[in-house]
């Protein structure tokens, strides 16, 4: 079975070798049809303590590392990868 990979924002990096990642998903309301945001927080393993609060990261499902940690941080998502629009003078 393939491992799940999610993308989210780090909301806390205060604990040793652990970050808390908030993952948001958009779902359609079953009755009204409006698109609403649902979020969930995951504790993810960060071996080198290299990721800081506010960064966007990808996390991967893994074996249980502790009571709360069953995810590990794969890498940082580069949010500045989109090219800027050129100014037309």
**Measured between alpha carbons, how far is residue 67 from residues 3, 6, 43, 45, 70 in Å?**
19, 20, 10, 12, 8
pLDDT value of residue 12 = 96
Residue 38, beta-bridge partner list: 25
CA–CA distance, 25 with 16 (Å, rounded to integer)? 27
pLDDT for residue 10 is more than 70: yes
Q: Average of pLDDT values for 53-73? A: 96
Q: State both tokens at 87.
A: 């100014």
Task: Please give the angle made by the CA atoms of 79, 84 and 89, to the nearest 5 degrees.
Answer: 165
Strand, coil or helix: 86: coil
pLDDT band at 88 (very low <50, low <70, confident <90, very high): low
Residue 84 pLDDT greater than 70, yes or no: no
Q: Output the average pLDDT for the chain.
A: 91
């Amino acid at each position: 079975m393939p491992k799940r990979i999610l993308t989210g924002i780090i909301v806390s990096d205060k604990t040793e070798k652990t970050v808390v990642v908030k993952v948001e998903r958009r779902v359609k309301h079953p009755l009204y049809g409006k698109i609403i945001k649902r979020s969930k927080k995951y504790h993810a393993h960060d071996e080198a303590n290299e990721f800081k609060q506010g960064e966007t990261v990808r996390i991967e499902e893994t074996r249980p590392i502790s009571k709360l940690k069953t995810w590990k941080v794969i890498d940082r998502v580069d949010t500045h990868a989109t090219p800027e629009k050129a100014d037309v003078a």
